[in-house]
Structure 1
Amino acid sequence: MRRIVAVVLAVFLIGGVAAAVVAGREGQDKGTATKTVRAVIGSEKAEFFADPDVVKALAAKGYTVETETSGSWAMEGLDLKGYDFAFPGSQAPAAELAKKYGVRQPLPRPFYSPLVVVAHRNAAEVLAANGLATVNKGNGTLKMGAYLDAAHANRTWQQLKGADKYGELTGTLFVSTTDPTSSNSGALYLAAASYVAAGGRVAADTSAVDETAPLMRKLISVQGAQQTSSDATFRDFISGVGNPLVLVYESQVASLLMRGQSVDDLIVLYPDTTANSDHTVVPLTEEGRALGELLSTDKELRKLAVRHGFRPQDASAEFTAATAAHTTYLNQKLTGVRQAPVPASKVLHEMARQARG
C-alpha cells in the first residue's frame, strides 16, 4: 500500500518529561531576549517553541523560553517548582494544575485544535463502503455512532465488505489513541466517545461514567500498549507503521501540509462528534502569565502558531487564510462537526482510569 512520505520530526520523545528544547540555543539569534522562562508543555507544541522564527519573535519581546515535554495529564504529578508556566493541551488538566498551585483566573488560551482521525485511503474507503464514514478527495467524516456500534460488536476489518482486497486491513477495527490516563488527546477521545454513547449527555458523576465504562474499556483495551504522546503516534502513522486509523490533533496535519511535505494516501476524517483541544497556559509566575498573554495577543506569534497548524482563539480568518491551499484535507469551518462538552477533570480522570481497567 502506498505510504505517506516519511517526515523527520523535530523532537523525539521517550515518554514523560523529555529533554529540554531551548528557545534561543547557541548559534540562534537571541535578539533582545533578557528574561528566561521555563515551561512544561504538551509534546504537540514542541515544534512550535523550537521553531527559529518563534525563538526570534519571543526574543524580540524580551524572552527566552526553555521547554520540557510531558503528557498533559501527567503534569499534575510533576513538581513544577522553579517553572514559570505549564502548557497542557486542554482546559481540564489546566484547571487541575491551577487549583493545585493556586493560580488566579482567567488562564490564557492562545489557540486550539480539534481532534481528527488520520487514515490511509484504503481504510477510509472501506469504512465509507460500510456506512462508518463519508470520504471526499482528501478528507471526510467519521460517523461516531456507527463506529461505536462496530466497536461494541467487536467487528473486525475482515467483516467489512471490501476489506479483503487489502492485506493490511486485518484484526479488530479500532482507532489508535494515546494513553488517556496521561495524555490529553486520549482523554478527550473518551470524552467525545462517552458523550455519543450516552445519547448526547456529558458524564457528570461516577454513575454516569459507570454506564459507558464497558464500551470505553473496549476502545482502549483493544489497542494494547499505548503511546504517551500524540507526537509519537503521528510520527508512526506518517512513517507507514502501526494501525490504519490514528487519533491526532488537526494542528499536526495542518503543520505537515503547510511545511510542504509530500502526502500520498492521507485521508483526514473529522469525527462528526469530537472534542476541541484548548491549549491553556497555567501561569506559575508573573513572567509565565505575561508570556501566556503574549502568545494570545502578539500578531507575529499568532501568525506563527497558525503556521504550526493551531487555530487562534476568536480568529478563524487567520487559520482560513493560511490553510487556503489545503482544503482538500482540512475542514476549515468544521462543517458538520459537533463539539462534545468535556466532563469535569475529576470525572474525566475516573473515566480514563476505568477505561484502562
Structure 2
Amino acid sequence: MAISRRAFGVGLLATGAVGTGGYLAVKDRPELQGLLGNRLNLFGFIGGEKEAFLADPDVVRALGSRGLTIQSRVAGSVEMVREQALLSQKPQFLWPSSSIMVDIARQNGVRIRDDRVVLNTPIVIYSWQPVADGLMQVGLVTRTGAGHYQLDLKALLEAIVAGTDWSKLGVNMLYGRSRIVSTDPNRSNSGFMFAGLVLSLLSGNLATSEALAQFGPKAQAIFRNMGFKSPSSGKLFEQYLAGGIGGEPMIVGYENQLVEWILADRARWDRIMSGSGAKPVMLYPRPTVYSAHPLIVIDEQSHRLMDALTTSALQQLAWEKHGFRGPLGTPTGNLDSAIAGMLPADIDAVLPMPDAGTMLPLLDLLAK
C-alpha cells in the first residue's frame, strides 16, 4: 500500500515528538537517569565504615540506574573537614559520621551548599562473652529481656580512671588494669564521638566548656590509658577481631560493623558461634550517642547523590546488608533472622553530642 509523502512526514513528526517527550520524561526523573547513558561522576571523601556499603554491587547498581558513579576515598571524619591537604583535592561531597562535622567544616571555610543526615548508627562497645559475663557479676553489664547487653559506661570509666584491675571487675582471665580502646579522636569519628560521650558522662550532663575545665583531665587520663589509637574505625574493628579477647578486650565501634561483618560471610559466623572460642559481644552503653552520617554537598551536582541515598531502595540496602539505620535511627527494612535478634529496634537512651565549641578544645586537650 502506497504511503503519501504528507502522511510519511506527519509520521516522522509524531515519532520525533514521542521520542522528545520520552527523553524529557526520563531526564526529569532521577531514578531513570542511567537509561540516557548520561553518567555523572562524583568524587568525595567518606568515613571508612561506609566503604563496604558504597562498594556493594547492589548499591553500585542502584546508583548507576540513576546515572551516578561514585569515586570515594576513605578519610577520618575529623580529618576530611579540617585538613587542607584533603580539602585542596576539591571534593564534590564529604560524608563524615557526625553532624558536628558540618559545623567544623564551615569553621574551616568549606563552602557547604547543603547537608542532610542519610544514615545513623549508635556507638557501641565491642567485647567478648567472658568479659561480658564477668562484668555482669559486678553489675556493670545487664541483659534485657530481649537479650541485648547494656553497659553502665560511667561506672566502667570511673573504674578505669581509678586504675582498677580486670580481676576486680569479675574478669579473672585478663591481666592488668581495665581499659577500653577507641580510635584517635583527632582523626576518626568513633573516637571523636566517644570523647564527647566520656566528657558528658563524667560531668553528669551534656558537657559544656565549663565541664571541660573540671572533667577534662579525667577524660585525658582515659584516653592516655588506651595506648596506641587507630586512625580508622574499620582498622580498629579488624584489630579487635584479629587480637581476640587478650589483644582487644573492649573497643569502641559502630553497631553496624558487626552486622556487616556477619552478613559478609554467614558460614564464618556460624563456625565462630559453634566453636569453643570466645564469642564477640555487642554492649550498648546506657546512655549512648548516635553517630549521624550527614552527606555534605559542596558541588551542586552532589544533590543527586543526596536524593539517591534517601530513596527507600538504598535505605533498605543500607539496613538489610550493612546494618545502618535510617535518618531517624529506626530500621528501614528486615534483617536476616540470625542478626535481627542482636539489635534492639529502638535505642531509647541517647545523649546529644556536645557542641563544636566544647569538642574542639577537648580534641586539643586529648592531643597533648
Question: Structure 2 length normalisation: TM-score?
Answer: 0.81
The 5 Å alignment of 1:83-94 reads 83-94=91-102
Residue 277 (structure 2) pairs with residue 268 (structure 1): no
- Is the Cα–Cα contact under 8 Å of residues 120 and 244 in structure 1 kept in the other structure? yes
- Is the Cα–Cα contact under 8 Å of residues 110 and 312 in structure 1 kept in the other structure? yes
Q: Over residues 86-145 of structure 1, what are the superposed CA-to-partner deviations in whole Å (9 max), with x where a residue is unaligned? A: 10001111222245223144x121111001011110111111111211146964011022
Q: Please give the alpha-carbon distance, in whole angstroms, between the structure 2 residues aligned to 1:33 and 1:87.
A: 24
Aligned partner of 2:296 in structure 1 is 282
Aligned partner of 2:202 in structure 1 is 197
- Is the Cα–Cα contact under 8 Å of residues 121 and 266 in structure 1 kept in the other structure? yes
Cα distance, 1:317 vs. partner?
Answer: 4.5
Return the index of the structure with the highest Cα Rg. 2
- Is the Cα–Cα contact under 8 Å of residues 98 and 282 in structure 1 kept in the other structure? no
Residue 127 (structure 2) pairs with residue 113 (structure 1): no
Aligned partner of 1:72 in structure 2 is 77
What root-mean-square deviation, in Å, do the aligned CA atoms of Structure 1 and Structure 2 show?
2.1
Q: Please give the alpha-carbon distance, in whole angstroms, between the structure 1 residues aligned to 2:252 and 2:331.
A: 25
Aligned partner of 1:355 in structure 2 is 366
Cα distance, 1:182 vs. partner?
Answer: 1.1
Aligned partner of 1:303 in structure 2 is 316
| Matched residue SS, 1:65 | strand
- Is the Cα–Cα contact under 8 Å of residues 325 and 331 in structure 2 kept in the other structure? no
- Is the Cα–Cα contact under 8 Å of residues 41 and 70 in structure 1 kept in the other structure? yes
| Matched residue SS, 1:108 | strand
Aligned partner of 2:342 in structure 1 is 329
The 5 Å alignment of 1:1-357 reads 32=37, 34-75=39-80, 76-77=82-83, 78-99=86-107, 100-105=109-114, 107-135=115-143, 139-161=148-170, 163-164=171-172, 166=173, 169-200=174-205, 202-205=206-209, 207-241=210-244, 242-259=247-264, 260=266, 261-262=268-269, 263-264=272-273, 265-296=279-310, 298-306=311-319, 307-314=321-328, 316-319=330-333, 321-322=334-335, 325-334=338-347, 337-357=348-368
Partner amino acid, structure 2, of 1:203? A
Cα distance, 1:191 vs. partner?
Answer: 1.1
Question: Structure 1 length normalisation: TM-score?
Answer: 0.83
Cα distance, 1:256 vs. partner?
Answer: 2.2
Q: Please give the alpha-carbon distance, in whole angstroms, between the structure 1 residues aligned to 2:92 and 2:189.
A: 21
| Higher helix fraction (1 or 2) | 2
Q: Please give the alpha-carbon distance, in whole angstroms, between the structure 2 residues aligned to 1:311 and 1:157.
A: 34
Partner amino acid, structure 2, of 1:160? L
Structure 1 runs not aligned, ≥5 long = 1-29
Distance 1:80 1:112, change over 3 A: farther
- Is the Cα–Cα contact under 8 Å of residues 113 and 298 in structure 2 kept in the other structure? no
- Is the Cα–Cα contact under 8 Å of residues 121 and 329 in structure 2 kept in the other structure? no
Task: Give the total of aligned pairs.
Answer: 317
Distance 1:33 1:141, change over 3 A: farther
Q: Please give the alpha-carbon distance, in whole angstroms, between the structure 1 residues aligned to 2:343 and 2:207.
A: 30
Q: Share of identical aligned residues, percent?
A: 26
- Is the Cα–Cα contact under 8 Å of residues 286 and 349 in structure 2 kept in the other structure? yes
Distance 1:315 1:344, change over 3 A: closer
Distance 1:301 1:328, change over 3 A: closer
Distance 1:51 1:350, change over 3 A: same
Cα distance, 1:81 vs. partner?
Answer: 4.2
Partner amino acid, structure 2, of 1:282? I
- Is the Cα–Cα contact under 8 Å of residues 110 and 280 in structure 1 kept in the other structure? yes
Q: Please give the alpha-carbon distance, in whole angstroms, between the structure 2 residues aligned to 1:323 and 1:204.
A: 41
Q: Please give the alpha-carbon distance, in whole angstroms, between the structure 1 residues aligned to 2:132 and 2:48.
A: 27
Q: Please give the alpha-carbon distance, in whole angstroms, between the structure 2 residues aligned to 1:315 and 1:217.
A: 30
- Is the Cα–Cα contact under 8 Å of residues 267 and 329 in structure 1 kept in the other structure? no
- Is the Cα–Cα contact under 8 Å of residues 297 and 303 in structure 2 kept in the other structure? yes
Runs of 4 or more, structure 1, over 4 Å off, are: 30-33
Distance 1:312 1:293, change over 3 A: same
